[in-house]
A and B are shown apart, each in its own frame.
Chain A
Amino acid sequence: MLGFPRSELQIMEVQGSEYLPLLIQLVFAFGFVAMVLIITHLIGPKRKSAKKLESFECGIESQGNARLPFSIKYFLTAILFVLFDVEVIFFYPWATNFREFGLQGFIAMFIFVALFLLGFLYLFRKKAFTWD
């Protein structure tokens, strides 16, 4: 006795046709990628020799593993760049509709930018931009 469900439910069959366009798009997307990969592989010229397969580094023979640890600072800078870069994207739709938004839109964007600056200031104080 698990209690009494308050409603009995009939599950309706979904008609497949509604989703046909989606399926076609999927097939095209995957198909295109697969096709490009396969065709370039087939039609490109191939020459396999020891020199060809070696990694090229300014003509000097390569030494050791390519996967070296590098300073986390690069990573930090990169991620901060991406962060601000992504946020800047919001400016484009805003700019195209600037007139319709009027003053309210201006204030909203002002707050948005202010928050940016605050973030920037915070990073600055936290010494995220100093290299050593």
Chain B
Amino acid sequence: MTTLVLLSLLGFLVLFLGAFEQKKAILPVVIAGLSAAFVTNALSWDTSQTFYGMMRYDNYAVSFVGLMIFSVLMIMLLASYHFRNEDSHIADIYALMIFTLVGGLVMVSYASLVMLFVGIEILSIALYILAGSRRMNLSSNEASLKYFLMGAFASGFLLFGITLMYGVTGSFDLLVISDYVNGNEELPMLFITGVLLILIGFSFKIGAVPFHFWTPDVYQGTPTLITAFMATVVKTAGIAAFFHLFDICFSAIDGVWFNILWVIAAATILLGNVSAVMQNEAKRMLAWSSVAHAGYLLIPVLALNELSASAIFYYTAAYSVASISAFAVLLGISQFSNEMPVDQYKGLAKNNPIMTTALVIAMFSLAGIPPLAGFFGKYFVFVTAMESNLNIAVIIAIAGSLIGIYYYFKPVIFAFNQEVPPIEKIKGNAAFNFVLFAGIIISLIIGIFPDLLANLPGN
């Protein structure tokens, strides 16, 4: 709770620093504030408080919030590099990111469906603006509008589902709903419709097939920095909220949603990977890859056993770290451009060793090559799935990973291409280099010692 208050106040503070033209103070304040939030969050470990039946801040929430704060911190550092020569609106962008984080926090700690909805809206509304934060850029506007319309649709589905759930059980409280599900042999049609509507709403939010069609356009049109944000923080919050609800409320009625979600997960993995193969645009490729990763993340939800929470947490952590590195490199090369053909990585290795290392580690981690973090992420997902006898799903995931190799290796191959004029040395500031270093080191460390993160969210 302290974390929530702290983050909200931080958001305000940053807004006002911007409004009162204290540009120099913004970044230190943001870093200090986020670090403080990280600490207060860590201090809530094992305390597991419930607030008026609306939010439950248990270890599950603490671990995901910690991860999200970390990702936001990294993205903020990138932002300070990205906007180094531009001073308009930077405070607003920082503040909106912090508000998004607040929404994410609510989404992973809700104990009531109302809070789930509130969390999603806080997160989404800030994001709509962020997506359109380059006002003069047509594609940024397009992305913002598309994202808004799709997001509104998804919220509509979700809200309708929540309403039906309330209509049947008479409560928004997850525990009451869970009791209702466990206590009744037969559930009314309305309740089942509600479950399915919520399923669809979440699928929209995390960009799972067949509700994924907005992802590539939005990811590409959005400023690269914000895309990194969407691919990491938002996806983490979305999948954590998704799992939280299904774990607590709907585990006993998997007959209702199991087959649907199975098909969604399989289709997401396959379509995401296959489409990513066909892209020549680096950002679009990463967008499709994030669709594919949403598919892998759905497998633990599908398996829904005692390993699922850890698998999701580890996977999102590994994926976030690698994605931020990948986007950082992309940002370094393409700067403010929204379009970057993959072959623009050509000759990166010649003059930019740190960026190349970061790129290689990130791509290998995303592709799931041991002993990097991404490999263990996939590994945990596979174990979780096999524990529940989802062998076919594992085989599909394996096929997906194989296809993934193709496009994840493309940038790496281009980077080492020697026959072209190499990319000039890209001057990163300290923050930029720090993000790259952190990406390399963390991918290696949590890959070699997965125990560090593996059991955090508990059961």
Contact = CB atoms under 8 A, between A and B. Distances in A.
Interface of A: 1-14, 118, 121-122, 125-126
Contact of B187 (A6, A11, A122, A125): A11
Contacts of A9: 186-187, 192, 253, 255-256
B389 interface: yes
4 closest pairs, A vs B, by CB? A125-B19, A5-B255, A12-B186, A9-B255
Contacts of B25: none
Contacts of B185: 10
A7 B181 CA distance: 11
Contacts of B421: none
B15 A122 contact: yes
B259 interface: yes
Interface in B302-360: 302
B20 interface: yes
A20 to B, nearest CB: 15
Contact of B392 (A1, A6, A11, A13): A1
B254 interface: yes
Contacts of A125: 16, 19-20
A108 B392 CA distance: 55
9 contacts: A2-B258, A2-B392, A6-B252, A7-B252, A7-B253, A7-B255, A10-B186, A14-B190, A122-B16
Contact of A122 (B19, B190, B255, B388): B19
Contact of A14 (B15, B188, B255, B390): B188
B391 interface: yes
Given A2-B258, A3-B388, A11 B252 contact: no
B391 A1 contact: yes
Interface in B152-186: 185-186
A116 to B, nearest CB: 12
A12 B189 contact: yes
Interface string B384-395: 000011111100
A8 B258 contact: no
B262 A3 contact: yes
A7 to B, nearest CB: 5
Nearest to B181: A7
B81 interface: no
A14 B189 contact: yes
B253 A11 contact: no
A11 B185 CA distance: 9
B379 interface: no
Interface in B250-277: 251-256, 258-259, 262
A56 to B, nearest CB: 37
Contacts of A1: 391-392
A22 to B, nearest CB: 10
B227 to A, nearest CB: 26
Contacts of A8: 255
Nearest to A115: B12
B15 to A, nearest CB: 6
A11 B189 CA distance: 6
